[in-house]
Structure 1
Amino acid sequence: MDVIIVGCQAGDEGKGKFTDIASRGAYAVVRYQAGPNTGHTVVVDGREYRFVQLPSGVLQGCVGVLGSGCVIEPVSLLAELAELRAAGLDPRLWISETAHVVFPYHIDQDGAEEAWRGAEVATSAATGFVTGTGRIGTTNRGVGPCREDKVGRIGLRMVDLLDETLLEARLSRLVPLKRALLHHVYERELPTTTVEEDVARLVEQYGAAGRELEPWLCDVPAWLREKRAEGRHIIYEGAQSFNLDLEQGTYPYVTSGYCGAGGVTVGTGTSPAHDFSVLGVAKAYMVQVGGGPLVGELTGDVAEHLITRGKEWGTVTGRRRRVGWFDVPLARRAIETEGITELCLTNLDVLAGLPEVRVVSGYEIDGREVASYPVRLKQVAALTPVVRSLPGWPDQDWPRVAARGAGALPGEALRYVEFLQSLLGVRITAVSVGPDRADTIHLSGPSVLADLAGAT
């Protein structure tokens, strides 16, 4: 059984938690895209584990795999591994030898490009949303510029770190190129060090990191074929989400990679003819980090309620997230495009205590119904949400509710889940009512997640 886990919104849905749960019945968990710009959090018995480049399934003892669709910052990856070892874990890991490498000049370029885009993050027409001239809200981890080099065929791969002659020759051309770009185009100050000094430092630091990671480099497509032939179960852990996908997302407010289920074939070398199940994850309300569309965005007391109870600050950046009511058309587009067969809903407990909860069930522009999510930014900015209201529910002892199962959910909360299910056209097979692994309720009926997790 091969299962792809993807987010149906704009990231931060809680994919790490359900990857961790599904990993109980898997042999390996594969990241097929992203890099040091993403973060997944898993809580087990009250202890919080934060994953940035590593797959979150390693907590269950699975083999972690980083495919060629990932970009690797090897120095911070080694630090992340050291932190896990200090916590008593010793993850098994394989890294694609052809994954591209993030260097410090990519981070400098990322910041310069973001400043060039505009003075403010593009969240409205006033801040450049309609014209695409505001900041997108990059994490400033160098991922986009690294992929620019990959597409431009001037990037360096993990395997290239092992060849000192090649590494020095390539960096001797790349470092002055990046300096010229930053200084002459983006008007950044030149560093006080010389090109030769920078090249020598990078060759030493990144060459050493490459040699330390060399035992874990491999031909990932061949390794995956071998494990599938052995009948092993493999989980493909999506990072970011469908609506941040470079091809299918809300461009230009997207990431630089392929976050959707289709990214698995590109980022791991797995045949598209392979039989996958696709499991979607959505939060019980919308969140957005940085710029881009958020139909039904909330402010005031309700927004503060969701942000405070949901701890809506980014794992990697620490930035406060924007929040809104659940956007059905946006999530449904992800479900239909990705072929999602079942959905997991997170943060149901966060909505508790509100007198009513609302759902964006559709859109209008100038009083006319809009059948699908538009691609023109001017039309997106003009969208008016069609909102449906449902009664809220009181706060609960949520760990106790989770322990007792679906029958212990407040009736209004269960009706909210059923209402979303009816609008989305896909079964919701599990809900999360707290951050801990144990704060999960498997709903009745057959479920790929329950099979992998061994739930009864």
Structure 2
Amino acid sequence: MSSVVLIGSQWGDEGKGKITDYLAEEAEYVVRYQGGNNAGHTVIVGEEEYKLHLIPSGIIYPGTKCMIGNGVVVDPGVLLEEMEYLKEKGIHVTPDNLKLSLHAHMIMPYHKILDGLEEEKRGAAKIGTTKRGIGPCYVDKIARTGLRFCDLQNKVSFRKILTQNVQAKNEILEKLYNQKELLDLEAIYNEFMAYGEHLLPFIDDVSYILNDALRDNKKVLFEGAQGTLLDIDHGTYPFVTSSNPTAGYAPVGTGVGPTKINCVLGITKAYLTRVGEGPFPTELFDATGKLLSAVGNEVGTTTGRPRRCGWFDGVLMNYATNINGMTHLTITKLDVLDQLPTIKICTAYEIDGVKTTTFPPDLERLSKAKPIYEELPGWQTSTKGIKTFNELPENAKKYLKRIEEFLSVKIALVAVGPKRDEAIELEKLF
């Protein structure tokens, strides 16, 4: 296979960073196709830990080319900070190993201000935004008033669009939010011209680069941020992100045709987690939930917020499998379950007294869903350091085979620890 789309199967935080890193060693191109710096992933290589938010983790490997696609909204200041962060760790980001789509939209200062004000105004109905300007940037993109990186190449055009936007946003800030401190056009213009001086060498037509690479049968890894249930169209709306983390957006967010995708790899934990608001049918509020949180170190990379924990949800995962057209699956954090005497898999919901195996997309029905569980015996022995499937405890193998059988999707990788070498490869993807 020359192209793999890697997606989150839950609400994000499934361990995509580790698996991206695992595959990036063989991939020649690693491409981010949606979202912004509201997502993050942690990669551990040897004793070194890397926390990344925009730049694909392939940047860690010499010779791997990283791409930020047109579907990503990028805060230039954050991108430069991340470059500096990597430099301090001995990794130099250059136009040779990173390209930024000229069609990607820029997060502006007013996007971040409006993000915070809008969330504050929602009060008890808040959606849990990271307040980093992602949503308002996508709003401007759809409203056709956004600024793209190609606009930095034309100072006259940039200033014209910026002037119109600042006038419009100041009116909103003043009249809707009663703000006294308004946007300073000159300050924003000068700030972004300075960003342009640093970033112009990185700006390129990512679509052409990727199509040429795929034509030459290069190994390309498409990396999604967040997860399926946070998809703006297919997620638990309105508790979703502002973009499409699902596999179907990988071609749109990078400018390659869907026929050029060979494999869709879904990433899921051996249990479930969620950050932020919204229904979570298998959420655990007992000692088991606390154990999963503690052993799994369940804290958001970007937000620092504790993740809610629950049992593996087969109903949700069947939905994610269908939506993404998954061809393969990766199970992460299997080792977190090592201590448990009994492990549960949700195989159906009961909603208003009726059993269903269909995931309800509307919040009212989902909030009523009571999980129906199938219980499996735990293995209560460490899986750390195990390198092959056959070495796993018998009950761990049965658990994985039951997931595979229930979802009708082959498991390609199993992670038994946070480090990149703590993985069991069942099928080679590149």
**C-alpha contact 2:75 2:106 (8 A) present in aligned 1:** yes
CA apart distance, 1:184: 2.4
**C-alpha contact 1:164 1:203 (8 A) present in aligned 2:** no
1:9 aligns with 2:10: yes
Q: Which amino acid aligns with 1:157?
A: R
Is the partner of 1:109 in helix, strand or coil?
Answer: helix
Equivalent in the alignment of 2:77: 75
Decide whether aligned partners of structure 1 residues 397 and 372 sit closer, same or farther in structure 2, where only a CA change above 3 A counts: closer
Name the % identity: 39
**C-alpha contact 2:237 2:362 (8 A) present in aligned 1:** no
**C-alpha contact 1:342 1:429 (8 A) present in aligned 2:** yes
For residues 217 and 194 of structure 2, the distance between their equivalents in structure 1, rounded to whole angstroms, comes to 36
**C-alpha contact 2:381 2:393 (8 A) present in aligned 1:** no
Q: Which stretch shows the higher mean deviation, 214-223 or 173-182?
A: 173-182
Equivalent in the alignment of 1:358: 344
> Which of these residues, 169, 175, 199, is aligned with residue 184 of structure 1?
175
Equivalent in the alignment of 1:280: 266
Equivalent in the alignment of 1:27: 28
**C-alpha contact 1:19 1:56 (8 A) present in aligned 2:** yes
Equivalent in the alignment of 1:125: none
CA apart distance, 1:168: 2.5
Equivalent in the alignment of 1:118: 123
Is the partner of 1:343 in helix, strand or coil?
Answer: strand
Cα deviation code 1:326-382 (max 9, x no counterpart): 111111111122121111100111112122111111111132112311233221111
For residues 383 and 363 of structure 2, the distance between their equivalents in structure 1, rounded to whole angstroms, comes to 43
Give the unaligned 5+ runs of structure 1.
120-133
CA apart distance, 1:164: 2.4
CA apart distance, 1:397: 6.4
Q: Provide the alpha-carbon RMSD of the alignment.
A: 1.5
Q: Which amino acid aligns with 1:105?
A: Y
For residues 170 and 275 of structure 1, the distance between their equivalents in structure 2, rounded to whole angstroms, comes to 36
For residues 178 and 245 of structure 2, the distance between their equivalents in structure 1, rounded to whole angstroms, comes to 32
Decide whether aligned partners of structure 1 residues 188 and 354 sit closer, same or farther in structure 2, where only a CA change above 3 A counts: farther
Equivalent in the alignment of 1:103: 108
Q: Which stretch shows the higher mean deviation, 162-171 or 6-15?
A: 162-171
Q: Which amino acid aligns with 1:416?
A: Y
Is the partner of 2:376 in helix, strand or coil?
Answer: strand
Equivalent in the alignment of 2:191: 205
> Which of these residues, 161, 167, 186, is aligned with residue 170 of structure 1?
161
For residues 429 and 149 of structure 2, the distance between their equivalents in structure 1, rounded to whole angstroms, comes to 36
For residues 420 and 451 of structure 1, the distance between their equivalents in structure 2, rounded to whole angstroms, comes to 20
For residues 344 and 376 of structure 1, the distance between their equivalents in structure 2, rounded to whole angstroms, comes to 27
**C-alpha contact 2:280 2:367 (8 A) present in aligned 1:** no
**C-alpha contact 2:347 2:357 (8 A) present in aligned 1:** no
**C-alpha contact 2:268 2:329 (8 A) present in aligned 1:** yes
Aligned pairs for 1:49-64 within 5 A: 49-61=50-62, 62-64=64-66
Q: Which amino acid aligns with 2:106?
A: V
Q: Which amino acid aligns with 1:21?
A: Y
Equivalent in the alignment of 1:257: 243
For residues 159 and 451 of structure 1, the distance between their equivalents in structure 2, rounded to whole angstroms, comes to 35
Give the unaligned 5+ runs of structure 2.
none
**C-alpha contact 2:113 2:133 (8 A) present in aligned 1:** yes
For residues 421 and 80 of structure 2, the distance between their equivalents in structure 1, rounded to whole angstroms, comes to 30
For residues 382 and 299 of structure 1, the distance between their equivalents in structure 2, rounded to whole angstroms, comes to 17
Q: Give aligned pairs, total.
A: 425
> Which of these residues, 356, 362, 370, is aligned with residue 370 of structure 1?
356
**C-alpha contact 2:263 2:328 (8 A) present in aligned 1:** no
Equivalent in the alignment of 2:416: 433
**C-alpha contact 1:8 1:281 (8 A) present in aligned 2:** yes
For residues 44 and 281 of structure 1, the distance between their equivalents in structure 2, rounded to whole angstroms, comes to 19
**C-alpha contact 1:349 1:395 (8 A) present in aligned 2:** no
Q: Which amino acid aligns with 2:42?
A: T
1:144 aligns with 2:142: no
**C-alpha contact 2:338 2:383 (8 A) present in aligned 1:** no
Is the partner of 1:273 in helix, strand or coil?
Answer: helix
Aligned pairs for 1:221-300 within 5 A: 221-300=207-286
For residues 112 and 429 of structure 2, the distance between their equivalents in structure 1, rounded to whole angstroms, comes to 42
Q: Which amino acid aligns with 2:104?
A: A
**C-alpha contact 1:84 1:90 (8 A) present in aligned 2:** yes
TM-score (norm 2): 0.95
